[in-house]
Amino acid sequence: MKPLEVYFDKNSLLLEVLRKPIIYLLLNLLMVLNYFTGRFIAFTSLLMNCILGGLLFCSLFGMKLHAQEIENREIEFARGNNSQTIEAKIVGEKIIDYLLNVKKGQYLNISMATDNRANYFNIMEPNEGNRAIFNGSIGENMFEGIAEASGDYTIRVYLMRSAARRLERANFRLELVVSEEVNLDALVDNTEYNATGILPCKMDKEKAGFNNCDFGIKRENYGTGILTIRKPDGRSRSIFFEDGKAIGYDKSEADIGELDSSKSGDLYLIQIGEEQYQIPEAVIFGG
C-alpha cells in the first residue's frame, strides 16, 4: 500500500490523497485540522497584538489629550503694585498653570480660597518640570517663602483626581504678594549677625515693666535662624526659629523652664522659665 502524501507550501495548502482507505483519510483530516488550528492560533495571536497595540495607542493618545487640558496664564502686576488677586474656576480635569516671574531673593506669599475641598495648588520652580516645592494639599493652600531662583514660577491650580473624574467644579480666589529682594547673606559690619538691635526683655516675670536687651540674629532662611539675646547680667540666651516658629532654645542643666511661644499681632511673646522676651516679627523675617 502506498503511503499517504501531504504537501504544504507557504501560500496555500495542497492536499493530495493518493490512497483513501478510511484510516488514511482520518489521519489526513487530523493533519488538516492541526494545520488550520495552528493557523487559527496564529490569527488569534495576531488579532490580540492588534488589539493591545490599539489600546496602547489610545492610552498614549489619551495622555496627549490629557496634557492638553493644562492652560497657561501669565501673571503681570499693575505698575506700582506688588500684589494681585485672581478669581476663576475650573471644572473636571482642567488644570490652570499661572506663571509668575520673580527674582531670586524676593519674598513670596501665595494663598488660595476655594468652595471645593478637593481644589489645591502646587508650586514649581523655574526649569524644574513637575517637581513641586509646595503641595497645597499638605500646606493648606498657603505658601510663604523666599524665591531661590530667578524666572517663571508655576502655580498649578487643579482638582484632586477623584473630584476631577466626577467633573466637579471649583470657584477659587488666588492671592499673590511679591516683595522686594531680601538679602539673607548681608552681615552687620564687624559682626557675625544679619541684624542687631534691642528688644524688650525681663528676667523676672513677676516684676512690672521690661528692660532692653541687645540681640543679634543669624538667618539661615526666611523665618529660620538663631536669635541670640544678651541678658542684663551679661549672659546670653539663644532661641531657635524654624519657618517662623520658635522651636527651642539653648537649654542647660541650670535651666528648668520649657519654652512657651505665642503671638500678639506682629510680636512673638517668648517665655522661658522666669525670662520673658518680646520679639518683633521683622527681627526673624527681616524687613
pLDDT at 68: 47
pLDDT in tens, 234-271: 999 999 999 889 999 999 988 888 999 999 988 999 99
pLDDT at 251: 92
- In this prediction, residue 197 has a pLDDT band, given cuts at 50, 70 and 90, of very high
- In this prediction, residue 42 has a pLDDT band, given cuts at 50, 70 and 90, of low
Q: Answer whether 223's CB lies under 8 Å from 241's CB.
A: yes
Instruction: Indicate the pTM of the whole model.
Output: 0.49
Taking residues 200-217, what's their average pLDDT?
92
- Of 84-98, 113-127, 272-286, minimum mean pLDDT range: 272-286
pLDDT at 236: 95
pLDDT at 27: 54
Q: At residue 65, does pLDDT exceed 80? A: no
Taking residues 121-146, what's their average pLDDT?
92
Q: At residue 97, does pLDDT exceed 50? A: yes
pLDDT at 165: 93
pLDDT at 1: 45
Taking residues 189-213, what's their average pLDDT?
92
User: Which residue, 106, 102, 112, 109, is CA-closest to 83?
Assistant: 109
pLDDT at 69: 78
Taking residues 29-58, what's their average pLDDT?
53
Q: What is the mean pLDDT of the chain?
A: 82
